[in-house]
Structure 1
Amino acid sequence: MRNTMGYVKSLVFVAVVAASYMYYRNLTAPLPLPPLNQLEQYWGPGDAKNYKEDTAIKPFKINYSNDTIHKLRTKLNDVPNLAKPLEGVAFQYGFNSNRLQEIITYWKTNYLAKWDEREKFLNQFPHFKTQIQGLDIHFIHVKPKVPAGTKILPILLLHGWPGSVREFYDIIPMLTTKSEDKNYVFEVIVPSLPGYGWSQGASKQGMSTSKIALIMKKLMNRIGHEQFYVQGGDWGSLIGNQIGTFFQDNVKGIHLNMCGLQSTSAMLKTFIASFMPSVFIEKEYVDFYFPALPKLKEIIIESGYMHLQATKPDTIGAALVGNPIGLAAYILEKFSTWTNPTYRQLADGGLEKYFTLDSLLDNIMIYYLTDTITTSQRIYYETFSVQEMGLQFDRIQTKVPAACAKFKYELAQTVDWALRDHFTNLVQSNHFQDGGHFAAMQLPAVIYKDLVQFVNKVENQK
């Protein structure tokens, strides 16, 4: 009897282990590509039956009247009674109001006094608009001026929130100019994401990153490129990843500076790696990922905005639209603490350690002048919806060559062991001991060098 009971227990144990393994396999097995026609939708106002797409690409110029700028200056002169920061507090409670007063003063005097110069700066590259799926899509398009016969590679640069096309202004000339480190030049396309800047926002529900990925692919085709590279950070990273997943025969390579996966397999592998990090990560880079609890604490501190925008984007949008002072505090806080979390201890937020006030205000002006803060935030609601998350795109493998540039103070990192479940052709993964979330704007030369290193590898494989 005792032997029989032992045998039964053994069978039960084996059955439980087998069932658990099968459950894990079903939960983590790669998924096939979804039918791409499910991404197709008319996003403009009204009935799609009345829509006829204008496929023309039309030049666009940033041009705002003196009245618009005067109205902004008037608002900046009418500063509310901002609460004084607590004694001894810098940015720990959010944007320091003393620092905000300094920025408002600079904005309404120095910056707006030279708005013609800033407008000319923003117009230095050719801007265009075209209509895709019911929306006017704005983009910068810079063709390199090089001798005939020079190899030219198209590249799509994608920003995120609360950034804009302004993030790429310093790197564009590097990409489009001949240099000793590459035997080619890039033809650069930098779109404003739908609902950002001069790109029209959706009138229908559901404009998530996967839907934007299709629009960006169509934009590249409209311009004349069937094959191209993609670079992106923040939402641009996720959209770029999805372009490289859905259109694997069209994307030559994807270079991302915020590589992350949310699949069950990735989370489990990250958990396992936390117990033996040196087995999976070079010793000098372990602190990019672990210990896990301090990393989680930082994410909680910095992600309050995300919960708000993923649930009630229009409420916070109503508080910020047309409100330059609130808009500046809300956005510039991210450029402080997402560049380096220790900047919370600095009274000036460390904003000018890497950025100029002019560059930061250029980005604020894009949101203010276009009234797009609300539409820009809706991407959180749509992408974090139950329907979108349920599609589990991270479980779809991509063979497209991929590169991850990992900056020390990025909001979150994923170990390469986990990333390879999705990026089956992870060509390059480099760590940098400096840099944060807005790497293309903060350290353009570093991003440029890493991107060129990756593209050289891909091009030399042919």
Structure 2
Amino acid sequence: MDISDFTIDVPQTDLDDLTARLTRTRFPNGHATGWGTGTDLDTMRRLTSYWVQDYDWRRVEARLNEFPHHLADGTLHFIHARSDRPDARPIVLLHGWADSFAKYVGIIDALRNPVNADAPAFHVVVPSLPGFGFSEQLPDGDAGPETTAAPLVALMETLGYDRYFVHGGDWGSVVGQEVVRANPDRILGLHLTDIPFPNLFMVDRESVTDDEKSFLDALDSWSENDAAYVSIQSSRPLTLAYGLSDSPVGLAAWIIDHFGRHSDSLPSDEDLITNVMTYWVRNSIHSSTRLYSEGAAWDEESGDQDRADTEDWADTGDWDPVIHVPTAIAVFPRDIGRPPREFVERFFDVVRYTVHPRGGHFAALEVPELVVADIQAFAGNLEAE
């Protein structure tokens, strides 16, 4: 891969257009309050006002550009922040949806140059997944977990990292396990904040323990009450994108809904809007949803994507569900699912399992200190063995 330097520099005309759209926002009618039927209206009014009056993209842009940004083959965006420590190990941090590479910016320095000299240090690689942020999208029909993982594997090899750690959450955990599966001998360890969701459909429910049954029942309830976005992004992503590509507040509401439902407390206003901006300034909401619409292994018998059965997520031929590298999972109480250890052990060689006292689905933004400490403890224990 050819590596070139990259600087985030959004054209001023795009920012002026954004401001004009924000000032013309038409909010929903009615008297909806709270998060019960979607993103809280009062929250969106307040955030829109903040976005127009107080949010400073140029200041955020300058802060982001303090880290070394690059493009691989002119298409894959990533941050590559090397440690000053000679004993540092490489780690690649993989985001999901509806977040972005920006989720990890706040933990890069703590990982690469920890204050505690006894803590492990890392050379930190933070890519934008293909189709997200400043990365170009993959060819049509190619946006599955394996094809998304392939350029990341090539990137780490190009950077000269023979062995490295992988961290991921949400789609980052799905793609992360494919990175591991592609070259297990190169992986020092896999650190996850949730279990890859396709794995949920690979278990014979007649064989589960009581704790596993409670976990799966809770996910069934989530699927019935909170997972409508998965169906829409899987079956009608283009229809959705017409609205979200045209309305910044519509885009923000669609994204922030997931932070409101699956966080102990919302991240700062600046972090929320910066995350939305990574989608807006590149008009990448449609390409980001292709992991949903193209990422499932639909078979011919299931018909079209409107009525795919859950088995189709697992219809992967000779695919081996077990990851044979040291794995840690950090469980957060407000996440979508909180798998018991025995469930995780069906798919991974679990050497560390931690239930944290707070945090949710976007833990690196909500409780960055807990995520950093968990990664450090995992790597430190492996090095001590």
Q: TM-score, normalised by structure 1?
A: 0.76
* CA offset digits 1:198-222 (Å, max 9, x no partner): 1001232132011111211101011
Aligned to 1:80: 26
**Counterpart residue identity of residue 123, structure 1:** N
Q: Using a 3 Å threshold, how does the CA distance of structure 1 residues 450 and 190 change in structure 2: closer, same or farther?
A: same
Q: What do residues 379-411 of structure 1 show as CA deviations (whole Å, max 9, x unaligned)?
A: 101112315741168743222110011111211
- Structure 2's unaligned 5+ residue stretches are 300-312
**Candidates 354, 360, 367, aligned match of 1:430:** 354
Deviation at 1:128, TM superposition (A): 0.4
Please show how residues 269-418 of structure 1 align to structure 2 within 5 Å: 272-274=208-210, 277=211, 290=214, 293-340=217-264, 350-351=265-266, 355-387=267-299, 389-391=314-316, 395-418=320-343
Is the CA contact 1:164–1:363 (under 8 Å) kept in the aligned structure 2? Answer: yes
CA-to-aligned-CA distance 1:5-34 (integer Å, 9 cap, x gap): xxxxxxxxxxxxxxxxxxxxxxxxxxxxxx
Q: Could you say which residue in structure 2 is the equivalent of 1:141?
A: 80
Report the count of equivalent residues.
372
Q: Describe the shift of the 1:393–1:228 C-alpha distance in structure 2 as closer, same or farther (beyond 3 A).
A: farther
> For the structure 1 residues 297 and 331, does the alpha-carbon distance in structure 2 shift closer, same or farther, using more than 3 Å as the test?
same
Deviations 1:322-361 (A, max 9, x none): 3101001100111110214xxxxxxxxx53xxx1101111
Judge conservation of contact 2:202–2:314 (CA < 8 Å) in 1: no
Gaps of 5+ in 1: 1-54, 281-288, 341-349
8 Å Cα contact 1:154/1:189 also seen in 2: yes
Tell me, yes or no, if the aligned pair for 1:256 and 1:403 is still in contact at 8 Å: yes
Determine if contact 1:309/1:316 at 8 Å carries over to the other structure.
Answer: yes
1:64 aligns with 2:6: no
The structural deviation recorded for 1:260 is 4.2
Q: 1:268 to 1:365 in 2, by over 3 A?
A: same
Letter in 2 for 1:65: P
Find the partner of 1:91 among 17, 20, 35. Answer: 35
Mapped partners of 2:165, 2:7: distance in 1: 26
Which of 104, 109, 126 in structure 1 is aligned with 2:53? 109
Deviation at 1:263, TM superposition (A): 5.1
1:450 to 362, 374, 385: 374
The one-letter code of the counterpart of 1:376 is S
Rounded to whole Å, the distance in 1 between the matches of 2:51 and 2:198 is 40
Q: What CA distance in whole angstroms lies between the structure 2 residues aligned with 1:338 and 1:260?
A: 17
Aligned residue number for residue 174 of structure 1: 110
**What is the aligned partner in structure 2 of residue 7 from structure 1?**
none
Out of 325-334 and 65-74, give the one that drifted further: 65-74
Give the deviation of 1:181 after TM superposition: 6.4
When residues 393 and 194 of structure 1 are mapped into structure 2, their CA distance, relative to the original with a 3 A threshold, is farther
| Partners of 1:261 and 1:414 within 8 A in 2 | no
For 1:231, what is the secondary structure of its paired residue?
Answer: strand
Greater Cα radius of gyration, structure 1 or 2:
1
**Per-residue deviation at 1:412?**
1.7
Q: Secondary structure at the match of 2:185?
A: coil
Partner secondary structure for residue 213 of structure 1: helix
C-alpha root-mean-square deviation of aligned residues, in Å? 2.2
Which residue number in structure 2 is paired with residue 185 of structure 1? 121
- Structure 2 counterpart of 1:125, from 67, 70, 76: 67
Q: Partners of 1:189 and 1:121 in 2: how far apart?
A: 17
Q: Once the 2 structures are TM-superposed, how far is the Cα of residue 262 of structure 1 from its aligned partner? A: 4.6
Letter in 2 for 1:207: A
Tell me by how many angstroms 1:293 deviates: 4.2
Contact 1:84–1:98 (8 Å) recurs in 2 = no
Aligned to 2:122, the other structure's residue is in SS state: strand
Is the contact made by 1:261 and 1:419 (CA closer than 8 Å) also made in structure 2? no
CA distance in 1, matches of 2:219, 2:371: 24
For residues 420 and 312 of structure 1, the distance between their equivalents in structure 2, rounded to whole angstroms, comes to 35
CA distance in 1, matches of 2:28, 2:170: 31
What fraction of aligned residue pairs are identical, expressed as a percent?
26
CA distance in structure 2 between the partners assigned to 1:357 and 1:139 by the alignment: 24
- Contact in 2 for aligned 1:338/1:437 (Cα 8 Å): yes
**Which amino acid is the alignment partner of residue 80 of structure 2?**
H
Separation (CA, whole Å) in 2 of partners of 1:192 and 1:126: 14
Match of 1:48 in 2: none
